[in-house]
Amino acid sequence: MPVNLPLPNPSELFPIAGVRIGVAEAGIRKANRKDLTVVLLDEGASVAGVFTQNRFCAAPVQVCREHLAAGRGIRAMVVNTGNANAGTGHEGLARARSTCAALARQLGLAPEQVLPFSTGVIMEPLPHDRIEAGLPAALGDAREDNWSRAAEGIMTTDTVPKAFGTQVVIGGVTVSVTGISKGAGMIRPNMATMLGYMATDARVSQAVMQQLAHELAEGSFNRVTVDGDTSTNDSFVVIASNKAAHAAIDALDSVDGQKLKAAMLEVARKLAQAIVRDGEGATKFITVRVQGGRTAEECRLVAYAIAHSPLVKTAFYASDPNLGRILAAVGYAGIADLDQSKIDLYLDDVHVAVQGGRNPSYREDDGQRVMRQSEITVRVALGRGMAEDVVWTCDFSHDYVSINADYRS
């Protein structure tokens, strides 16, 4: 049961002109499951991606980087679930390339115009023959109003599909933004998350597109964590189909650039938070906000220490205001000259700790009241400077253990 995460709202999933999506059942790991998705782009789209910083990055991630660098214009993407094609060596690379070539042949493209994505079990050979056999069905399904099915097509241990959209007026023209994402374990994105895709019909130059992809990831997917495990396959791709009639955006800090970025960030953040809300075993959605740091980096160190602590996460699961565990995590986060006597801790509106000690007016009943909620904000004030940052995470439950002890078996 995800935390306060409604099913996708069809009226919000705006078709994006020039972006068609098809989904099929290819039997990659299990039968009767939508496990293959293709995305077809009209000529002229601007496409940028950010990918995992895991050094054990998957074969499709390596191929995506090559094909984006080739600069021949991306025209198609192919996504499979059930197998991550990671830890598969040279053979894995060959299979990812074979999949691209097969799709390129059917569309009359060069293989470098296709981006491959895989998600699922690591260190097992990709059944590329089944993927290639499933391509005609996926292509036959392709249409612009298919985002909801695509959100289903990329799910693994997710319990619900994740899709959001919004619209914004740029230069008098209404442009649309629609995106999908998936989780739900091995989630501590470092550049991007395990599969997030967003598209807009806005006109954006290719040069701006890469910057936009990075900034969106930094403000959304790169601020969520479920279990601290950075995946081998994290991929976040942003597409501008350039079909809208406004003047092209060729600087991100222009008025139009900022408007588009704000609209896309709204969707990206919802998609990223949706992964946490549907995190494996999650029962609560936790916002960790750290303020008063010298730099945003040190605020993030502290926020991640809290968000990754199994003791903090199990206390949230139990609704137990055992809040000293949060102070302990602040202390070991890695700020060498941290002064504990300057630290304050808040749980929503409840002032728990003052100057490193329990607030004399703090009452456990107040902590208990907040801990019982399904959405909680932890706020730490470091008393060192003006910087701040935020991380979103979930609690740690029996179901997390069950899901990950049983995932493959």
309 touching a second copy, by CB under 8 A: yes
**Helix, strand, or coil (residue 64):** helix
Q: Does 82 bind a second copy (CB under 8 A)?
A: no
- Position among 73, 87, 171, 219 found at the interface with a second copy (CB under 8 A): 87
User: Scanning residues 5 to 34, which ones bind a second copy (CB under 8 A)?
Assistant: none
Binding mask 109-148 for a second copy (x = CB under 8 A): ------------xxxxx-----------------------
Question: Of 32 and 408, which has the nearer Cβ to a second copy?
Answer: 408
Cα–Cα distances (Å) from 165 to 197, 235, 266, 318, 319, in that order, read 12, 19, 9, 34, 33
Q: Which of 99, 119, 178, 193 is catalytic?
A: 193
We find the least distance from the C-beta atom of residue 216 to a second copy, in angstroms, to be: 21
Q: Give 253 or 337: the residue with its C-beta nearer to a second copy.
A: 337
For residues 96 and 123, what is the distance between their CA atoms, to the nearest angstrom? 14
The CA distances from residue 291 to 34, 244, 295, in Å, are 43, 40, 10
Q: Are 402 and 281 in contact (CB under 8 A)?
A: yes
Judged by CB under 8 A, the residue of 113, 231, 241, 287 near a second copy is 231
Identify which of residues 171 and 331 has a Cβ nearer to a second copy in the complex.
331
Site residues for a second copy, 280-299, by CB under 8 A, read none
> If you search the block for the tokens 């070991």, which residue do you land on?
332
Interface residue with a second copy among 20, 23, 38, 54 (CB under 8 A) is 54
398 contacts a second copy (rule: CB under 8 A): yes
Centre a 10 Å sphere on the Cβ of residue 255 and count the other Cβ atoms it contains. Answer: 11
Nearest distance from residue 377's CB to a second copy, in Å?
19
The Cα–Cα gap between 173 and 331 comes to 51
Q: How far apart are CA 351 and CA 361, in angstroms?
A: 8
Closest contact distance (angstroms) between CB of 67 and a second copy is 19
User: Nearer Cβ to a second copy, position 143 or 398?
Assistant: 398
Which lies closer to a second copy via its Cβ, residue 89 or residue 136?
A: 89
Interacting positions 323-382 with a second copy (CB under 8 A)? 323-325, 327-333, 335-336, 338-341, 343, 353, 355-358
211 binds a second copy (CB under 8 A): no
| Catalytic site includes residue 166 | no
Determine phi and psi for 174, rounding to 5 degrees: -80, 120
Cα 57 to Cα 81: distance, rounded to the nearest angstrom? 16
The residues, any chain, with a CB within 8 Å of residue 216's CB and separated by 6 or more, are 198, 236, 238, 261, 264, 265, 268
Check binding of 322 to a second copy (CB under 8 A). Answer: yes
Encoded amino acid at 45, one letter? A
Q: Kindly list the catalytic residues.
A: 193
